[in-house]
Amino acid sequence: MAPFYILLSLLLLHTTPWCFSAAVDEDTLMAGQALAVGDKLVSRNGKFALGFFQPAASSSISKLSRNATSSRSSWYLGIWFNKIPVLTTMWIANREEPITHPNLNLAQLKISKDGNLAIVVNHGSNTQSIVWSTHIVSNRTHNSLNITSAAVLLNSGNLVLKESPSSDLSVWQSFDNPTDVWLAGAKFGRNKVTGFSRYGISKKSLIDPGLGSYSIELEGTRGIVLKHRNPSIEYWLYTSSTAASLVPLVNSLLSLDPRTKGLYNLVYVNNDQEEYYMYTSHDESSSMFVSLDISGQIKLNLWSQANQSWQTIYAQPDDPCDPPAACGPFAVCRGKPHPSCDCMESFSKKSPHDWEFEDRIGGCIRNTPLHCTTSKNITSSTDIFHPIAQVTLPYNPQSIAVATTQSKCEEACLGSCSCTAYSYKNNRCSVWNGELLSVNLDDGIDNTSKDVLYLRLAAKDFLANLRKKKRKPNVGVVTAASIIVVVLLMLMLLLLIWRNKCKWCALLPIYSDNQGSAGGIVAFRYTDLVRATKKFSEKLGGGGFGSVYKGVLSDSKTTIAVKRLDGAHQGEKQFRAEVSTVGLIQHINLVKLIGFCCEGDHRLLVYEHMLNGSLDSHLFKKRNAAASAAVLNWNTRYQIALGVAKGLSYLHQSCHKCIIHCDIKPENILLDASFVPKVADFGLAAFVGRDFSRILTSFRGTTGYLAPEWLSGVAVKPKIDVYGFGMVLLEIISGRRNSSPETSHYTNSSSNVDQHVGYFPVQTISKLHSGDVKSLVDPQLHGDFSLEEAERVCKVACWCIQDNEFDRPTMGEVVRVLEGLQEIDVPPMPRLLAALTEQSGAATLM
């Protein structure tokens, strides 16, 4: 298929996709005149054209595919950008009634005798049919209207029907009847008096501009609503109560992009007469439009002269799999970073031709029908279920209360010939009848957000799949199995050696009498930890998971740090299992876990104590008058950054199961006697459960380190740690908090505009782009630092704090860059970050 798409792209970009004569190049159609196929109206500024056309993809495909005969004969009347080589229609009159008459010369646009602008097809013998009309209700006489009326294509791309060419009064305009596009100057909204609404419906496909699957409308007091039309599913709502915050956010995004800065402005009007959104343009030479895409996303599209293509600079919803039924029935949608649709196991595309042009409404169909019969109220079936893991469950499930086990849930689905799938989780049985819609693949790390869907298949298909797997060469299987066995034996041997080396743990005086330890980790009594910490009197710090206290073991005089967990409610067996898992993690840049306590409601962890405390006490010395920590020199800072990166890379990529820290900040980076950094509090999410809503609340004081996607409630992924690490890097460079005074730019505080203007990450990226890195480095270093390393750290930090998680590096990539093994360019300014800091009303986004 690749050569096909390459050829299609070349045809779209480098050929003219329509064949018009230049017979008419004026902007006005007078009563009594006609616009025929091959003619066009052109706005006075030359930017827009009106005429008959075929969809660009259709006219190109007609040269490549014989299957597009129905599309080749379909013609429409529309408005497009006149000077852009890629045919891009902004408005279509007859989108549901294409002209398919064999003699296209008989089709015309004219002002009819009843005063309407209409598409008329003459059939001979003085008979004609009206394909499309404006349907104006007028009290004027037909005769007078027929003499003076005129249709004018304005410079804005708006087609208006006027009482006369010189009149300012329009009786009809295309801006009031949008299809799927809004240009500058076009209102999106409603008239409160008449109830008239300017709504949009997406196209059906790239070659069919008919009514598609999605709609957008400003609904009364509810706000902007995006819907899937059939079945009717509401999937995005921007309420009227928060409308005021949408305008500054969009305007900030436009002002931050150099291609749109100073050119466009969004306004929101809400009065007694009407409510609408509209954006204005200050440069007629620039080409931009807002569209409701085939995918169901609202997109802001800008023409790139350099690339000779349209660029999407903003999309909502951000994930293309969020709109319902994005891939049609019995298909699976895979979102970012590479959106794609695939048929489920043993299903095939219903219409491959339609899929090529992004029309997936037909989805997929079964390769083999289900074998299910019903006789005398007894259902018999030989079907088998195929599990699809890590997915969001389909739309519109039905709950089966009596199915208390998974086997009973499966039986309940087999007991109905219309049942196509089931899911069983947390003692809840759900079944689906008929088509399966909105099944999205979730590749995230956090397994609690994933489900398993059991898809019903014919036994014939299921057995055929098994045979395919069995036909695979046995040599590879045997080789892989041998390697696994050898690796397991080596791991067991290393584990035995490690455990023998750690027998000193048993010599510690404080341990449980009969409960034993967890994976070689000491199990402490609660009373002994109370005594060691002097009743938790000396607090070292605290975070989202609990507080840390200093202690001393009575016999060995070993200094320890005791973490008292908040919100950990697992049973003893589960807690010990988690402790055992965390205790096995060993890395030079990770704080070592010595032991634990699990008695009653008490859940505590015991760590080795770090002599030089936490990184914040050294970086922010000026803000802590009581601190006696020395100023860190540049080499120490750089090694700390590299060490923390290695520690996080180990947690993300080298552990048996990826561990996400979730709270990267200087307070959780400890320094030993040689200033070697050690990441603390890793793995603690497992102890308080995977419901991060409670932790988010407790993190509000340090949300300057939290990635933007955290606040939107999406699944927790490793790139959250990458964002936090980037914020920490900026503080290592500057020796001060990113935000001053130390309040988060996300918190709903009484911060003023000046506070946001001084936000250090924005300054960093600006200075990096202007080549002024020196001014960013901590003045306490007195210029004693490596400029090359400082620039490298700044680039990495800005790379890490990008808005979109897929634009951020992995921690492995960060390590390679900091070690000088990989080069990177200057990253762009994160739009959302700058917008939030520049707008005093950013708190309304919460």
Catalytic residue annotation: 663
Q: Tell me if residue 395 falls in helix, strand or coil.
A: coil
CA dihedral 702, 704, 708, 712 (to 10 degrees): 30
- For residue 199, the tally of other CB atoms under 10 A from its CB is 16
In terms of phi and psi (left: phi > 0; alpha: psi -120 to 50; beta: otherwise), the region of 613 is left
- Name the DSSP letter for residue 434: S
Cα–Cα dist 382/372, whole Å: 7
Cα–Cα dist 617/222, whole Å: 49
Which candidate, 359, 273, 479, places its Cα nearest to that of 70? 359
Q: Tell me if residue 591 falls in helix, strand or coil.
A: coil
Retrieve residue 138's tokens: 């007028």
Retrieve residue 660's tokens: 């996400």
Residue numbers belonging to the annotated binding site: 563
Retrieve residue 289's tokens: 């439009």
Which candidate, 143, 134, 51, places its Cα nearest to that of 90? 51
- For residue 455, the tally of other CB atoms under 10 A from its CB is 20
Cα–Cα dist 117/163, whole Å: 12
DSSP string, 362-378: T-EEESS---EEEETTE
- For residue 391, the tally of other CB atoms under 10 A from its CB is 20
Retrieve residue 611's tokens: 């002599």
CA dihedral 699, 700, 705, 711 (to 10 degrees): 100
- For residue 54, the tally of other CB atoms under 10 A from its CB is 22
DSSP string, 90-145: EEES-TTS-B--S-GGGEEEEE-TTS-EEEEEEEETTEEEEEEE------S-HHHH
Which candidate, 832, 844, 840, places its Cα nearest to that of 255? 832
Cα–Cα dist 202/299, whole Å: 12
Instruction: Assess contact for 679 and 665: CB atoms under 8 A.
Output: no
656: amino acid identity, one letter: H
Which candidate, 638, 700, 694, 692, places its Cα nearest to that of 660? 692
Which candidate, 707, 552, 680, 706, places its Cα nearest to that of 616? 680
CA distance between the termini of the chain: 45
557: Cβ–Cβ under 8 A, 6 or more apart, which residues? Answer: none
- For residue 238, the tally of other CB atoms under 10 A from its CB is 18
Q: Tell me if residue 160 falls in helix, strand or coil.
A: strand
Cα–Cα dist 265/184, whole Å: 9
Instruction: Assess contact for 662 and 668: CB atoms under 8 A.
Output: no
- Name the DSSP letter for residue 653: I
Burial of 407 (0-12, 13-18, 19+ CB in 10 A): exposed
Residue numbers belonging to the annotated binding site for ATP: 563
Half-sphere exposure of 507 (CA within 13 A, CB side): 9
- For residue 262, the tally of other CB atoms under 10 A from its CB is 10
435: Cβ–Cβ under 8 A, 6 or more apart, which residues? Answer: 329, 330, 363, 420
